[in-house]
Amino acid sequence: MSALRGRAAVAAGGAPYARRVRVLVVGSGAREHALAVALAADDDVSDVLVGPGGPGVADVAEVVPLDPLDGAAVAALARERGVDLVVVGPEAPLVGGVADAVRAAGVDCFGPSAVAARLEGSKAFAKDVMASADVPTAMARVCTDVDQVAAALDAFGAPHVVKDDGLAGGKGVVVTSDREEALAHARSCLEGRPGAGASAVVVEEFLDGPEVSLFVLCDGRDVVPLAPAQDSKRLRDGDEGPNTGGMGAYSPLPWAPEGLVDEVVERVAQPVVDEMARRGTPFAGVLYCGLALTSRGVRVVEFNARFGDPETQVVLPRLRTPLGGLLRAAATGRLAEAAPLGWSSDAAVVVVLAAGGYPAAPRAGDPLSGLEAAAAVPGARVLHAGTAAGADGALVASGGRVLSLVGTGATLADARAAAYAAVAEVGLQGGQHRTDIAAASAALAEEVGA
Ligand code: AMP
Ligand code: GLY
């Protein structure tokens, strides 16, 4: 009876804690802005700090100066400011051990340890864990010289997939039918990064079929999936152009097979969490499962050890369960108490506005206009990524991905209309965005009446 009541209290957003919690979000992208919005909407959260954040996130949080890679500084700030929960957004601090430093200072932290974050930090490590846990993924060879790469390319055949072993901000992967281009990428990865230690590339079999991003919350033992989303990684409409960090996303997926989420939990997420626990390096945080739905079944394309950007911007607006309690449950080994989660039937679409020159050489310093009009579009929300205050105090672009324009609505078509109406209000010289985010799925949803 009391256990049941406890579960109901968490699911209904009741207070499982003695007092309201203060949360520090580490990072400065639109993903962190989306996290701050959702945390600020949780009645059990008293206030949200974001460091280093940016001027845009001040609408929902206190912006604090912070070096996100400096674990001692993050831990010290959390202690000084009486923070109850630190949520680490990006991968580099996790791989660098920021979550370990925060926990060592006695503060709860949502985000895996440095050793567990190797699931993202090393593609070769992720492949090894998947092999041990019998998780379906692309066949792959880890190569440390160009001759090995050439042999692997010939063994798997075209199209070729060549990946930098280490962190590369989503840009370390080349998929091409041109053998010379595949070899050239491998060469640049192998020679590339001075001081980065022994380098390796992973050559993989090509996976066909649509991609799905599924975030699975983990507390080291139990796992709870969020709603699936789809990200558009290529720069231009029709999935043309170079790979980027992500140019848009939407949720739900009207075409996703029934049972997909359960299948991924059973065949992917739970086995990986079990294997990490067996190795003595439990994974707690969010396991981002990047999946391909191939003609031969679900395959893992990659793991990330953090929330995806921009998928988070469309998953969190649909989540009804208060986020602060949920992340704290994951951080403290009590995730089972937080399930099942509540979801809105609404749809969400995010369109990313990127600076001119992104991804190769983004232009900084161009003025932004129309943000108030964009925010006033019904169903739209403006989330900031690469924005800064210019000399006269007006906002200017300061990064590759500048804004996330999020639309929500009863259907994907409504959500899409809201997101694109917001995009139309924003002025940014040389700005780039895709015009086809969620287009095919919105049409499909209308057809099937989803
Ligand atoms: P990753 O950084 O591993 O997620 O790769 C970035 C993108 O490259 C993925 O989202 C896919 O679109 C593509 N990709 C990666 N691995 C493969 C593969 N084995 N087959 C086909 N496409 C891939
Ligand atoms: N949207 C892709 C990523 O976050 O890695």
Per-domain boundaries in the chain: 5-114, 139-204
- The pocket around ligand 1, CB under 6 angstroms, is made up of 138, 161, 163, 170, 173, 175, 204, 206-207, 211, 233, 243, 290, 301-302
How is residue 229 annotated by DSSP?
B
- pLDDT (tens digit per residue) in 183-240: 999 998 888 655 555 588 999 999 999 999 999 999 999 999 999 999 999 999 999 9
pTM listed for this prediction: 0.92
139-204 matches 5-114 in CATH topology = no
Query: How many angstroms separate the CA atoms of 441 and 413, rounded?
Result: 9
Query: How many angstroms separate the CA atoms of 291 and 131, rounded?
Result: 16
Output the CA–CA distances (angstroms, integers) from residue 49 to 23, 112, 233, 286, in the order listed. Answer: 6, 20, 30, 20
| pLDDT, average across residues 100-127 | 96
Residue 428 has pLDDT above 50, yes or no: yes
Output the CA–CA distances (angstroms, integers) from residue 385 to 111, 309, 399, 401, 450, in the order listed. Answer: 21, 10, 7, 6, 32
Least confident of 58-62, 176-180, 188-192, 224-228: 188-192
Q: Which H or E run includes 94? A: helix 91-95
Residue 12 has pLDDT above 70, yes or no: no
Question: What does the pLDDT read at residue 170?
Answer: 56
Query: How many angstroms separate the CA atoms of 35 and 56, rounded?
Result: 13
Between the CA of 202 and the centroid of ligand 2 the distance, in Å, is: 19
Among 138, 119, 168, 123, smallest CA distance to 306 is for: 119
Question: What does the pLDDT read at residue 392?
Answer: 87
- pLDDT (tens digit per residue) in 327-349: 999 999 999 999 899 999 999 99
Query: How many angstroms separate the CA atoms of 78 and 434, rounded?
Result: 39
Query: How many angstroms separate the CA atoms of 402 and 383, rounded?
Result: 9
Least confident of 14-23, 26-35, 386-395, 397-406: 14-23
Residue 125 has pLDDT above 80, yes or no: yes
Among 346, 339, 330, smallest CA distance to 408 is for: 346
Pick the more confident residue, 42 or 12.
42
Question: What does the pLDDT read at residue 193?
Answer: 58
> Across the chain, how many H-helices and E-strands are there?
16, 24
| pLDDT, average across residues 68-96 | 98
Residues 6 or more apart whose Cβ sits within 8 Å of residue 2: none
Kind of pairing, strands 21-27 and 85-88? parallel
Question: What does the pLDDT read at residue 287?
Answer: 98
Cβ-contact 284, 109 below 8 angstroms: no
Residue 2 has pLDDT above 50, yes or no: no
| Beta carbon of 285 within 6 Å of any ligand 2 atom | no
Q: Whose CA is nearest to atom 4 of ligand 2?
A: 308
Averaged pLDDT of the chain: 93
Question: What does the pLDDT read at residue 169?
Answer: 59
When the candidates are 3.20.20.70, 3.40.50.300, 3.40.50.1010, 3.40.50.20, the CATH number that belongs to 5-114 is 3.40.50.20
pLDDT above 70 as % of the chain: 93
With the most atoms of ligand 2 within 8 angstroms of its CB, the residue from 91, 94, 287, 311 to mutate is: 311
Output the CA–CA distances (angstroms, integers) from residue 442 to 161, 290, 405, 412, 447, in the order listed. Answer: 30, 22, 17, 5, 9
Between the CA of 409 and the centroid of ligand 1 the distance, in Å, is: 30
The type of residue at 319 is L
Kind of pairing, strands 211-219 and 201-204? unpaired
* Tokens standing for residue 399: 């990064």
| pLDDT, average across residues 415-444 | 97
Q: Which CATH class is domain 139-204?
A: alpha beta
